[in-house]
Structure 1
Amino acid sequence: MFTLSALVADTSLELRVLVPGGPGALDEPVAWVHNTELPDPSAYVQNKELVLTNGLWSAQVTAAEFVANVKRARAAGIVFGLRVETPHTPEDLVRACAEAELPLLEIAQAVPFTAISHSVSALYTEQRQQDLIGMVRRGDALATAISRGAGASGVLRVLTKDHDLPLAVVDRMGRLLATTGARLDEEQLRTVAAGLARRPPALELDLGTSLAALYPVGAVGDIDAALICLRPLSGLAPAEHEALEQAARFLSLEVAKQQAVQAIEMRFAGELLEMVLSGGRAAEVAGRLRTFGVDPAGPLAVCAVALAEEAATPHGLAQVIGDFLAAEGVPAVVAGGTQDVVTVLTWRRPQPDLSMLAERLVKAVDKRFPGGRPVAGLGGLAPHAAELRRPLMQSREACRVLRRSRTGPAVRGFAELGTHRLLLGLVDPGTLRSFSHDLLASLREHDARRGGDLEPTLRAFLDHDGQWATTAAALHIHVNTLRNRLAKAAELTGRDVNRTEDRVDLFLALAIDAMT
């Protein structure tokens, strides 16, 4: 767009400013010019157009009425063309424009309105050429930045050379990939991630402190990140908007490149786990571990992570785990599966420290996947790569048990889990639920019908290892009352707590109920 100041600067037009309008009005963008002699041109004049007139409307309306009509159309201003009949701009028109703070320019008799149109066309052409040259130059700079591995930060540096804007790049997991002049807290990053998850994704978000414009960055048919500008869309100039859109397209190339690298790494990691499980190709396993920076000759730990509330591994979980371990300075191989994500890592510290690391990892995952209830199973330490198979299987089994437990710790090692839990983890869940329900149903019906406490009493008795006096004291009842309740439970379930095999059945039924 051009400005009134730019037109006045063109001496060939012989324009004179009679009324400058409001503050900065002469430097406001002008959309186009509109020649009219209608008494009320408001239905035809577009926003920010410059009205050209010779004043032929003066026989039908006053200057104040004409100016009011032009003002209502939100025009950029008025150019009054002098002619033989009106060698001077009418004073009432000057007065009306001054009162309305509408710019008024005067053009000499010798200069036709077409000269203004030609000048505007030339300004538009020149500006468009400059914009195209700038776009080509910026495109070359963006391509160079990406080809040289500058990444998202390099793209932002190119943008800020031309435009002073607060910018950031955030992926759909809510991670800050790059920033310049913009600060986003954790809550704002989550807001951006939620906006990208919409279908279609949000193009503007309220981040609390300000509105932010979002330029989605897609790769392989999906939206994986966004270029964020901490300005509302309405506050961006057309040139800024075009530059941000161009940068977002180049960021798509960068994201696609990163995804390709990650896909290759994941495939290699997955193949590595298959090699370990097969028990062969020890030399190749060692070689692949070295590729990921993991020493195959040193002590190795295995950790399996999953979300208990998710049926399958969510997109991005492996990336979150990899980023966490990289930040911790722990060399690791991270392999994503359909049910869990397995990590093989170098571990030369005491084994208790591994549980502490896993606890921090679970908290980091919970931040990225709130409500998913992440759990982590740990296998024993392997002295070297050739002994990885056992801890790998143990970590995944421990993780599977933790996923099926509704309560309890989020991190456990294989050796810390009760043997019965590991055995139950090998049985079909439907079969287990059926066994637990059938055994406890009559007990629960009795309690529901009579407001009894048979099930809580049975749980307390088993929790206190079958000790009558201790259980009675914990329940604040007499031992004879305890005996009567458990006798009734035996009558209803057909299982007597005084017999070992019956007590095992009751114990397992209650354990299954807690797990499912």
Structure 2
Amino acid sequence: MRLHELLGLSDLKLHQVVAPEHFDPVIRWVVTTDMLDPSRYLTGGELVLTGLVWHTGPEDSYAFVSSVAKAGVAAVAASEGGLVPDDLVAACREHGLPLFRVPADVAFATVTEVVVRQLSTARTSDLKAVLDRHQRLVESTGPGGIGPLLDLVGTELGMECWVSTASGNVLAGPEGLSDPAFLAREFLIARRLPHYVEEYGISLLPVDSDSAARVVDWFVAVRSDWQTWHPERLALAEQLSSIVAVERARSDDRLTGSGILAQEFVRAVSEGASASDIAQQMYVIGLPVESRYIAIAAAVSEDVLRLGEVRQLVRETYASPMSAVGITDGEVIAIVPADEDLTPAIERAVGALSPGLTGTGLSIGVSSLVASRDIRSAVEEAKHARQLAARRNDDRYVVGHEELATLVLLLAGVPDDVRRMFRSRLLTPLADYDDVHKSDLIATLSAFLDTNGSWTKCADQMHLHVNSVRYRIQRIEELTGRDLSRLEDRVEFYLALRLS
């Protein structure tokens, strides 16, 4: 704030004794002192309040004014029972230093509070203008990164800020954020936002609560209690969140060139593309053919999450920067380069998000580790695992390939006669029909399950008309008494085919 604005604070009733000549200094802060030479504690631009305890005569006034003028203060406000010595006035005039008299009935604490509030409001207004420019820049020219923006807020307003995902992945901010996983959980379970976490003195603000489910939203963590903020600071924090929301929107790559290519690759794999076509597309999108891969399938049974949000959630569950993620037939499919089984890591990531997953009907399946030539089989394995996850009635959302294989092993571990009876009950009617009519019911059943019950994909894979596939599936259901629209029956057929 400028010096002339100090006189406009009528509540303080300050009387200007020495006015500046031809300049209007900036007041940066307020300091109260009773030292004769406080210069070592001054950095320039301060309004210095003094009760004149140091004053014993004219020589003290000269020494005091000389020291504060040399330090570059903006002005002095003094009072000794509402009076100011003439020698102090003379010293200030000699050094060209503005001087105010504080009335006896106005406490220095009141002066400090009022001036600091004005300074804070002014700095907030200045910073808001900077943020306005930054937001226009972000929206018009592309992402500039939110790290420098958080540094600016921290420097100007003394508010340490971080940006984190709902899973606890800190995206930007200074070192030293306490327990990001705990803060992320607090964000997910808070009844309303903003939310103050008293244990760490941190407020949590949503980034995009109007258009994103909380479990896939980001949040801004601020080391301050938002309940104590004045309206200007709260408005500033909300604007900061809106700028971060722009950056969050930019992180969705579905409409970028790479995102579109990944979508096409996932669709091609799911629809049974040949190994050579898969290898060619992998080269185009930058997935190394020599790497090993796992596949992830995910879906929801409720409308709480959109598939685009499920896609974001899936990308949060693994750390690989290279992957192909797409949406096909109501499922999100991710194909991820990996050196080891990712099921435990995915289970941990989903577990961290579990407070925000209630009522979503989320189900996730994870395949085993395969060579690139077997990506298609990995996708099918992940789909089967996801279907088993969807059948659960507990709060476990993930089924890994080992658990899927355990069902086969479990059935394989029963006595041979029981295994034969299980296979025979399901497949013998089909095998007998194939022998008599020279048909391919068992092959059609296998292709139908491999294509996740898609009539069109099964027809393409079998080189048949869709109506022929429908006829064969109808015949399978008639011969076995099963309904292939039911997951339970599909799983039993899947197991029988695996054991045959």
TM-score, normalization by structure 1: 0.49
